[in-house]
Structure 1
Amino acid sequence: MQLIQETPDLSAYLAADEVIDHHHPLVRETAVRLAREVEDSYAYALAAFEFVRDAIPHSQDSGDLRVTWRASDVLERGTGICYAKAHALAALLRAEDIPTALCYQRLAQDDGSGHVVHGLVAVRFNGAWHRQDPRGNKQGVDAQFSLGGERLAFVADPESDELDYPVLYAQPHPAVLGVLKAAPDRPCLWKTLPAAL
């Protein structure tokens, strides 16, 4: 799949904002701790990915009712859905000067009731973008960090009207951020998740 940059300026994929707040002390502290244990930027990206994937449970899997959307809140509260976990990983990677974009898939709901937008990230290494999915593994989901072929949580199936959106966003898509900010809890959020972008 050809990934399309939203902006030609790579600095946009290193920027901090209210969501990807990588200047926040908790994000910086976490990044420094992870960086201390590795030798290079690839090893750091792998460590950050595995930290977000494994140490921060997906709130649907864990039953956590809280909704997080800001990277520092995801790290502080230790919970989030796919979008929030993508924000946290983007902040940790950008904190160490690794260009990171947000990207999305349109997937069929497990119960067959329609579609939902799923969030993940793309990292830039060796002059190319590589999608990574820190959603969190569970039975039937085995996402791995990889630059040599995607190992995502989900593979879009065109037969089920699923698709990979090719755009690489420097900031969260407004439809995604809007529902996260508006939801008082995860059950309410689940009723308002976007079906398409």
Structure 2
Amino acid sequence: MRKHGATTMTKHSADMINPDLLDEFDESTLGLYLDDDAPAAFALGRVRNLAPGEALDDPNPFALHVVLDGRLAGPRNWYGPGNHFTGGEQGLQAVDLSARVWTLDMGGGTWSAAANRPVRRAMTHALIAADAAEAAATPPVVLPDVETLCDIDHPEIRRNAVRLRRTTEAGTAEAILKFIQPMPYRFGTWQERASDTLARGTGMCTTKANLQVALMRAVGLEAGFVEIPMPISRLGMLMPKAWLSMMRPTVKHYFAAVKLGGRWHAADASYDDEAFGVYLKVAPELSYMIPAYLGEGRPYSPAMESQGMDMFGIEVQPHLHEEMGKRSRFLPRHFEALNTRLDRVRGTHRHWAKVALEQAAREGTEVRA
């Protein structure tokens, strides 16, 4: 045995650390909530490489697993990069691609060593925080009818629409865009009403566009939806890199449009400044698009601009019933793992870390850790 800081490690665990593996662990859901304690926790586990079709085959009920890259699937569940699960789940194997899985024996002597109490406490808090964040992101079991999603008559939609009305149509459209755009962009389910997105205060391109269109229609503006292709090389900047190999080369991007002066204008409020800032690291020439703007003759869509598209040359749809009616193959845990890079940039994970501390104090897990 040898010491590494305040953490007791085996020679095997110390030698297997490399920056790439640690980076993937750091971008996992648990890595996000472990924060500065992630390296110490990572050092106490081991990494297995699974070939396509190879089973995880770990009967240890005290094991904690984190998928670093690839995908594991079984009879009931599947886990993608950054997802974690505990021992006892049988039949999981690497599918499509090879997979690397980090495993911690939480029943072993190394983990139970007195010197590792701080990292055990950190892990307890991280698990609680991850569960709380996932629960908050979980949609209701019964999803709303797609025809009710753009609920312009909801009292909160009406109230905010009145508040955002300006003396001109262009001024009103810009006020609404500037109200929606700062809402944090997060990957998640798109089957929610505009009023639900308003209450949540976050959304992805589809749900933010739905809220924006609802507000514009509530004040009498002619508004609709636009669909354009987006290379995953662009959108992928917002997600942990381990997810990229599992994505299609091109995805659909949706945003709002408004008619001003008899002409349709792109009015894309999808990306808040923090999310857009991630793009600017590789495309600094788009920095002039922050802060967001919109006016007659001044359409706004960073996604179109980055691809050299004409922001007036858009095909506007009256609704997104078909798209928003589809069930995602992703579950809340997958979306939470997709969001770790954005959550870290914004620091929003600290809210759930605080929730975990409060819950641990109530339940006495500080003592048991």
TM over 0.5: yes
Aligned residue number for residue 34 of structure 1 = 164
Change (3 A) 1:66 1:128: closer
Aligned residue number for residue 105 of structure 1 = 228
More helix by share: 2
Structure 1 CA distance, aligned partners of 2:324 and 2:301? 20
Q: Percent identity?
A: 24
CA RMSD of aligned residues (A): 3.1
Aligned residue number for residue 46 of structure 1 = 174
State the 1:170 CA deviation. Answer: 0.6
Q: Does 1:187 align with 2:187?
A: no
State the 1:189 CA deviation. Answer: 9.8
Structure 1 CA distance, aligned partners of 2:168 and 2:295? 16
Q: Match of 2:302, SS? A: coil
State the 1:40 CA deviation. Answer: 2.5
Question: Rg larger in 1 or in 2?
Answer: 2
State the 1:148 CA deviation. Answer: 1.9
Q: Match of 1:145, SS? A: coil
Aligned residue number for residue 33 of structure 2 = none
Aligned residue number for residue 303 of structure 2 = 154
The normalised TM-score by structure 2 is: 0.39
Q: What is the 5 A alignment of 1:166-181?
A: 166-179=314-327
Q: Match of 1:171, SS? A: coil
Query: Which amino acid in structure 2 is aligned with residue 71 of structure 1?
Result: A
Unaligned runs of 5+ in 1: 1-16, 192-197
Aligned residue number for residue 86 of structure 1 = 209
Change (3 A) 1:81 1:118: same
Aligned residue number for residue 293 of structure 2 = 144
Matched residue count: 164
Change (3 A) 1:59 1:128: same
Kept in 1: contact 2:169–2:260 (CA 8 A):
no
Greater relative contact order: 1 or 2 (C-alpha under 8 angstroms, separation 6 or more)? 1
Kept in 1: contact 2:190–2:324 (CA 8 A):
no
Kept in 2: contact 1:67–1:185 (CA 8 A):
no
Aligned residue number for residue 19 of structure 1 = 149
Unaligned runs of 5+ in 2: 1-146, 237-243, 281-285, 339-369
Structure 2 CA distance, aligned partners of 1:108 and 1:186? 24
Structure 1 CA distance, aligned partners of 2:336 and 2:326? 10
